[in-house]
Amino acid sequence: MRRASASVGRIVLHALVVLAALGVLLPLYVMIVTSLKSMDEIRSGALFALPQAPSLAAWKDAWSHACTGLACDGLHAGFANSLWIAVPSTLVAVALGALNGYVLALWRPRGSNLLFGLLMIGAFIPVQVMMYPLVRALGAVGLVGSLPGIVVVHVIFSMPLMTLLFRNYYAALPVELFNAARIDGAGFWTTWTLVLLPMSAPMLAVAAIMQVTGVWNDYLLGLVFAGHELAPMTVQLNNLINTTTGTRNYGVDMAATLLTSLVPLLVYFASGRWFVRGITAGALRG
Amino acid sequence: MSGIRIEDLTVSIGARPILQALSLEAHEGEFLVLLGPSGCGKSTLLGAVAGLVPVTSGRVLIGGEDVTDKDPAERHIGMVFQSYALYPTMTVERNLSFGLRVRRTPRAEIERRVRAAAELLQLTPLLGRRPAALSGGQRQRVAIGRALVREARVYLLDEPLSNLDASLRATLRRELKLLHRRLGATMIYVTHDQVEALTLATRIAVLDEGVLQQVGTPDEVYRRPANRFVAGFLGSPGMNFIDGRIARRDGCATFTGAGLEVPLDALDVTTVPDGCAVTLGIRPEHVALGSGPYAAAVRLVEPMGATRIITLDCDGTPLVSLEPGERPYADGERIPFSLDARHASLFDVSTGARI
């Protein structure tokens, strides 16, 4: 009886997994086949049909010719912008988050619990609430519409999560390790760089993955703070799809959307193993 | 001069006192063991000496120098931690040399000290390994080695053997004792294991609830415990405690309790008034079975190989004897026994202090 009910459970479980996978994969399938079809074929309305003459024309268009507002040279400028924004935003945010976590978990200066509490409250306030004051503040120092401006904004909004990740990671380490380094004569920076950072590889990977994908997928902050010249790929994608001149080419829209989501997808595929390992590192250590 | 002096040390966490006005001295070259149950404050005391635990009031002196407000790094100490606390990303060699590299010791000097420590602790073949590839005993030796390369005159050891299995613990215990003799350095060693304390210490300091109970040689602490706590904490099986009264007749004091009358000629009890309620403490090895003025029923026999633990029932009070005999005892059998009152201790019933 137990075996029978267990196998029924497994069947239900597998059915649910397959359903969930279909929910994700069907739209993706439609996007991919549509991006490979000609407009005539798309208009015929056979949404799930395979393309009769697969062509990468729509992809080329999306990358280098499609109109994003006034300019018509595709998404490639946005791709470069997104890279320019994501790389420094990730490096600075992860470094600062690790440093914050180190101080809050191990040095615990007076008031550090209060500070951490405030930071966590910050994580629950919607970004939109802080938008206007932040625009005014950055405007006052002339940083709106510049690379440092958008990087600073991304770093600020990433601090609660980055700090939380590293604080918990370091708090789970035996405090004796930290004490041993102090006895050995290592100071604030030496302990961090020589003892703790080398042990943080899994968490550094997790934090970097979260930050890269977070920054890459951001639309609102990029729209408000990056300015026209530096508009990230997501903003350009929106412009491309909302452009109303000429005929709407659904194939190009699909290709552009896929191109924009390519980086986070690749990051996940390449580092999923690291991601899982980092998330469970605290529990499985030892 | 590299003794350690602790003067009136109080450590509180929040409003809760962990250590209260504690004074203690480890003389130069001494192996001082801090012994007590978990939570008694012994690790906190060690942490305060190391500079890892903030001191509320009082002073810590190392080699005559007041280090109360100094950083752990400035105290010239070597420390071994319970969990070993080896740096997991570094090889054994880099673990050993880390403290020297951080202090910018000349390369040749680092090399010499690491070689010497590795040689002494038989770590030479393991120098290239990471801690994860070492056994528990090897990790422990690396942890000791990391303290040794500092060539400090003072070493602090926080339950360094408690994570090892029993046979390895005994081996490393002997190695530690030989190492101490060889180095001649001052060591403070924290443990809750009385066997480690008795075998290693030149002196033992017994702590309970943040208060020093007794300081003395292993012999003194074992044979002349300062109070009931120390008496009960040391010894396995534990000391027998029998509640009763002092009776004086013709200048001779006698203890009566649990149906026993024990003459106390061998003890100095002149200050105790007649009829005073006391607790008699007697160790199991001083309860001899087979003959004697008393008799009681056997309740339990626990063979331990070389010896046996035999529990008697004296009018409802259990009395434990440790004896090497082989004679079989039937459950409930009444057997004669004697108490060696020369080794007995008397404690005040209310305060628990030795009389």
Tell me the percentage of chain A whose pLDDT exceeds 90: 54
| CB pairs A-B closer than 8 Å | 61
Residue to test with chain B: of A184, A199, A284, most B Cβ within 10 A: A184
Q: Return residues 88-147 of B near A (CB < 8 Å).
A: 88-90, 98-99, 102-103, 146
Taking CA atoms, B259 is separated from A260, B162, B180, in Å, by 92, 42, 49
Name the average pLDDT for chain A.
88
- Nearest CA to B41 among B61, B86, B11? B11
* Three-state SS at A185: coil
- Nearest CA to B210 among B8, B41, B60? B41
Taking CA atoms, B328 is separated from B235, B260, B339, in Å, by 25, 25, 21
**Tokens in use for A153?**
């904004």
Across B278-294, average pLDDT: 92
- Select from B51, B73, B85 the Cβ nearest to the Cβ of A177: B85
Confidence of residue A278 (pLDDT cuts 50, 70, 90): low
CB contact A186 to B (< 8 Å): yes
Per CB-CB distance under 8 Å, the chain A contacts of B102 are: 184-186, 190, 194
CB neighbourhood size of B97 (10 A): 23
Contact B221, B206 (CB under 8 A): yes
B13: distance to nearest CA of chain A, Å?
14
Q: Mean pLDDT lowest for which of A4-13, A98-107, B21-30, B232-241?
A: A4-13
CB contact under 8 A, B52 and A183: yes
The model's pLDDT over B145-197, given as tens digits with 9 standing for 90+, comes to: 999 998 888 999 999 998 888 888 888 899 899 999 988 999 999 999 999 99
CB contact under 8 A, A182 and B87: no
Q: Return residues 230-269 of B near A (CB < 8 Å).
A: none
For position A68, what pLDDT does the model report? 78
Across A225-249, average pLDDT: 85
For position B212, what pLDDT does the model report? 93
Confidence of residue A244 (pLDDT cuts 50, 70, 90): low
* Three-state SS at B167: helix
**Tokens in use for A35?**
């991006």
Residue B49 Cα to chain centre, angstroms: 18
For position A197, what pLDDT does the model report? 94
> How many angstroms separate the CA atoms of B71 and B50, rounded?
9
For position A45, what pLDDT does the model report? 82
* Environment class of B288 (CB within 10 Å of its CB; exposed 0-12, middle 13-18, buried 19+): middle
- Nearest CA to A233 among A8, A33, A76, A22? A76
Is the pLDDT assigned to residue B57 strictly greater than 80?
yes
Taking CA atoms, A180 is separated from A191, B147, B157, in Å, by 10, 10, 12
CB contact under 8 A, A183 and B99: yes
Contact A153, A225 (CB under 8 A): yes
Please report the ipTM that was assigned to this predicted complex: 0.85
For position B265, what pLDDT does the model report? 79
Is the pLDDT assigned to residue A284 strictly greater than 50?
no
Phi-psi region of B203 (alpha: psi -120 to 50; beta: other; left: phi over 0): beta
CB contact A198 to B (< 8 Å): yes
CB contact under 8 A, B85 and A190: no
CB neighbourhood size of B40 (10 A): 24
Q: Mean pLDDT lowest for which of A5-9, A19-23, B86-90?
A: A5-9
* Environment class of B180 (CB within 10 Å of its CB; exposed 0-12, middle 13-18, buried 19+): buried
